[in-house]
Structure 1
Amino acid sequence: MKEDSPLKLDKLAAGNLSDNIQEFEFVFIVHLMFKMLLFKNELSRALEKKDQDIINAMELLNLAKIRLQKMRESELESMMDEVYSFCGKHDILIPKMVDDCPRLKRKRSGVSYLHHFHVEVFYAVIDLQLQELNNRFDVATSDLLLGMASLNPVDSFPNFEKNRIMKLAGYYKSEFGDNQLRDLSYQLDSFIVYALQRDSKFLNLKGIKDLAIVMLTLILPVATASVERAFSSTKLIKNDLRNNIGEEFLNGCLVCKIEHKLFATINNDAIMDRFQRMKPRRVEL
């Protein structure tokens, strides 16, 4: 294009590109990015396997972080040797590393080539990759994934770890208060003993989906009984004489009917005080 393009601007652009790709900095960056792409491709292919489990995936991520850190600490010199060798074969000028690296043509920067390539390019690229992995798979995400993996029933719960599940529950503050977390700790101890030794329902499960189905079948009779009680109470309260009862009033009546044992422990004075404070009334109860 530099020689044969009919357009002058295309010739100029091609000439500039041709000059740039024959500079040491371009060769250095290409070698570095080639290593980064090889590394990320290997990690991506491993994580995208259909049979990849969460525990192994998290181990691969930790290994990737260690690999990047090792590369940052000890592999710069070997990569520089590769770049020197490539430039020597292709007659590319190698700058003196102690000289200043110009930010613009013919303008000195006060920063040496050595500092520029080591800190501003090599370290900066690796640190960016480490930061990206940490952002995408932070502590909270890792805890959630490992907690879910601990519930995987394949091969008799091989990854079951109580502490990971407790961490998982701790992220759901609205569902698990201090008392619920205490109860969960005890229940997990009982669950793993029950699942492994006493009940054939938990054998030969293929994944968390199968575990959820088994747990649903265990709680379904209780849930069904609760629903039946609610429907029976509804039939008693919303009869022909109360056919136009409002939804809010109906809900209040149902709570009182279904939870009658709880309401039996509350004295009438407390109920009247609560009713009196709901809004101003003409008569004091």
Structure 2
Amino acid sequence: MWASVIGILGNIQDDATTSDNRGMARGLIDRMNDYEFVFALHLMKYLLGITNDLSLVLQQRDQNIVQAMSLIDTMKSQLQDFREEGWQIILDEVNNFCELNMIPVIDMEDSIAIRGNARRSRRGQTITNFHHYRVEIFCEVVDLIIQEMNNRFSEVSTELLSCIACLDPKSSFSQFNVQKLLRLADLYPEDFSSNDYLYLESQLRNYIYNVQRDPQFSEVGDLGSLAQQMVKTGKNTVFPLVYRLIQLALVLPVATASVERVFSAMNIVKTDLRNKMGDEWMNDCLVVYIEKDIFATIENEQILQRFQRMKTRRMQLPHLRYSSATTTNTSSVNQ
């Protein structure tokens, strides 16, 4: 693929009709044949490979908190191990790649002028290539990602996820831990009163004893299905405090990736022509837009009839034929 990209850029340089395009293609070729560019490319490829699985899990509509918790710990450990032991791996890969593609390989012991500091550069101060690539690029980039992960997933956030993971119903509630769930209630003081906290421990023990022996919960695989099954069997009223913990656990994923999707949809729904849209009307429009896959299955005839029955109106809305209703419904949802 590398050779193909270089070849295409070479063709653009030879066949371009303007000097600007020729110069741009020539500059890209020169940049790609630079050792520092290849080093940065391999470094980012390796780092994105470490973080990719966690990124995909966090972007899923139905997030698995237990899986995300496991990937967070794994990724932090991988990044730290890569910082301590990955330098030689990256260096060997970059050197091999440069040799295969006839890119000059630099000597790590050679000296270069200090970059980014005009005063020190004028004084003729130098550093080795090893310092530049190992300290100023490799360690600095890896440390930046590690620091960002620690800020995003702090000890409090990690503890919260760890407590929520105890509610996971997989493998017959094997992750269930009463003490961690009591700690989860501590993190939400506004949702649990002092009296609630007194009854919570005994209710947790009764709950786990009950659901582990109930065949209706043997096939439940995630928190969303667990909440639905509790409502279906009426256990949400038998164990209200436990059900409240499950509700709080289900809110957490909504507060991350799903909210970002809502803000993206808001820019589409609330345009300059709709800048006076009220909160209730905007909320209804966002629900329809975000859940358009569900609304695409509802015929316009059903919507018209429901709207007609909401209150007495001066005239009856016309009935739609099935074919036109389906066509209109699909086009309106896609818009």
Same fold (TM over 0.5): yes
Structure 2: gaps of 5 or more residues:
1-11, 241-335
- 1-side partners of 2:34 and 2:105: how far apart? 8
2:218 alignment counterpart: 204
Contact 1:24 1:95 in 2 (8 A): yes
Greater helix fraction, Structure 1 or Structure 2: 2
- 1-side partners of 2:62 and 2:22: how far apart? 52
2:74 alignment counterpart: 63
1:215 alignment counterpart: 235
2:167 alignment counterpart: 151
2:201 alignment counterpart: 185
Instruction: Give the deviation of 1:112 after TM superposition.
Output: 2.4
- 2-side partners of 1:202 and 1:146: how far apart? 26
- 2-side partners of 1:174 and 1:49: how far apart? 29
Please give the secondary structure, in 1, of the residue aligned with 2:181: helix
Equivalence map 1:26-175=2 (5 Å): 26-45=37-56, 53-98=64-109, 99-103=111-115, 110-175=126-191
Instruction: Give the deviation of 1:100 after TM superposition.
Output: 2.1
- Is the alpha carbon distance of 1:219 and 1:133 closer, same or farther for their aligned partners in structure 2, counting shifts above 3 Å? closer
Contact 2:50 2:78 in 1 (8 A): no
- 2-side partners of 1:110 and 1:179: how far apart? 68
- 2-side partners of 1:148 and 1:202: how far apart? 22
- 1-side partners of 2:163 and 2:135: how far apart? 38
Please give the secondary structure, in 1, of the residue aligned with 2:173: coil
Q: Which moved more, 1:71-80 or 1:170-179?
A: 170-179
Contact 1:101 1:116 in 2 (8 A): no
Match of 2:35 among 24, 27, 50: 24
Percent identity of paired positions between Structure 1 and Structure 2 = 31
Could you tell me which amino acid in structure 1 is paired with residue 182 of structure 2?
Answer: M
- 1-side partners of 2:53 and 2:113: how far apart? 34
- 1-side partners of 2:77 and 2:105: how far apart? 32
Q: Provide Cα deviations, 1:136-179, integer angstroms capped at 9, x if missing partner.
A: 33333333333333223444322111122122111112233556
- Is the alpha carbon distance of 1:109 and 1:83 closer, same or farther for their aligned partners in structure 2, counting shifts above 3 Å? farther
Larger radius of gyration: 1
Aligned CA RMSD, in angstroms, stands at 3.3
1:279 alignment counterpart: none
Q: Which moved more, 1:21-30 or 1:167-176?
A: 167-176
- 1-side partners of 2:226 and 2:206: how far apart? 19
Structure 1: gaps of 5 or more residues:
221-285
1:241 alignment counterpart: none
Instruction: Give the deviation of 1:103 after TM superposition.
Output: 2.2
- Is the alpha carbon distance of 1:97 and 1:184 closer, same or farther for their aligned partners in structure 2, counting shifts above 3 Å? same
Equivalence map 1:249-264=2 (5 Å): none
Instruction: Give the deviation of 1:19 after TM superposition.
Output: 1.6
